[in-house]
Amino acid sequence: MQLEDLHSLTSQALTDIANADSADALENVRVHYLGRKGKLPEIMAGLKDIAPEDRPAFGKGANDFKVQVSEALQSRKTELLSHSSPADAIDVTLPGNTGFRGGIHPIRQIMLRVIDIFDRIGFNVATGPDVESVFNNFDALNTPADHPSRDEQDTFYLSDGSLLRTQTSPIQIRHMLQNPPPVRIIAPGRAYRRDTPDATHSANFHQVEGLYVAENVSLADLKGDLTYFAHEIIGKNTNVRFRPHFFPFTEPSVEVDFTCHVCKGKGCRVCKNSGWIEILGAGMVDPRVFEQVGYNPETTTGYAFGMGLERIAMIMLEIDDIRRLYENDARFLRQFA
- pLDDT computed for residue 225 by the predictor: 96
12 vs 262, higher pLDDT: 12
Q: Which of 106, 98, 99 is nearest to 337 (CA)?
A: 106
Rounded to an integer, what distance in angstroms lies between the CA atom of residue 252 and that of residue 222? 12
- pLDDT computed for residue 209 by the predictor: 95
Q: What sections of the chain are H helices per DSSP? A: 3-19, 23-34, 39-45, 55-82, 106-119, 134-137, 169-178, 219-233, 287-293, 309-317, 330-333
**DSSP code of residue 161:** S
Q: Per residue in 266-297, is it b (16+ CB within 10 Å) or e — as a string?
A: eeeebbeeebbbebbbbbbbbeebbebbebee
- pLDDT computed for residue 336 by the predictor: 84
Helices 219-233 and 106-119 meet at what angle, rounded to 10? Answer: 130
- pLDDT computed for residue 229 by the predictor: 94
- pLDDT computed for residue 136 by the predictor: 95
For 122: left if phi > 0, alpha if psi spans -120 to 50, otherwise beta; the answer is left
Backbone angles phi, psi at 209, to 5 degrees: -115, 150
35-49, 166-180, 203-217, range with the lowest pLDDT:
35-49
CB 285 within 8 A of CB 267: no
pLDDT tens digits along 281-325: 999 999 999 999 999 999 999 999 999 998 888 888 878 788 888
Give the residue-averaged pLDDT of 90-116.
Answer: 84
pLDDT tens digits along 142-188: 999 989 889 988 999 999 999 999 999 999 999 999 999 999 999 99
**DSSP code of residue 98:** P
Stretch (H or E) spanning 131: strand 131-132
pLDDT tens digits along 241-274: 999 999 999 999 999 998 887 787 888 877 788 8
In whole angstroms, how far apart are CA 33 and each of 40, 44, 75? Answer: 6, 12, 16
Q: Given a cut of 80, is residue 124 above it in pLDDT?
A: yes
- pLDDT computed for residue 90 by the predictor: 67
Give the residue-averaged pLDDT of 75-100.
Answer: 73
- pLDDT computed for residue 184 by the predictor: 97
CB 171 within 8 A of CB 123: no
Give the residue-averaged pLDDT of 21-49.
Answer: 85
- pLDDT computed for residue 267 by the predictor: 85
30-34, 73-77, 266-270, 300-304, range with the lowest pLDDT:
266-270
Q: For the chain, what is the mean pLDDT?
A: 88
Rounded to an integer, what distance in angstroms lies between the CA atom of residue 94 and that of residue 92? 5
The band of 85, judged by pLDDT with boundaries at 50, 70 and 90, is low
Rounded to an integer, what distance in angstroms lies between the CA atom of residue 48 and that of residue 25? 32
- Strands of the sheet containing 250-259, edge to edge, are 124-125, 183-192, 204-214, 301-308, 276-285, 250-259, 240-247
- pLDDT computed for residue 328 by the predictor: 84
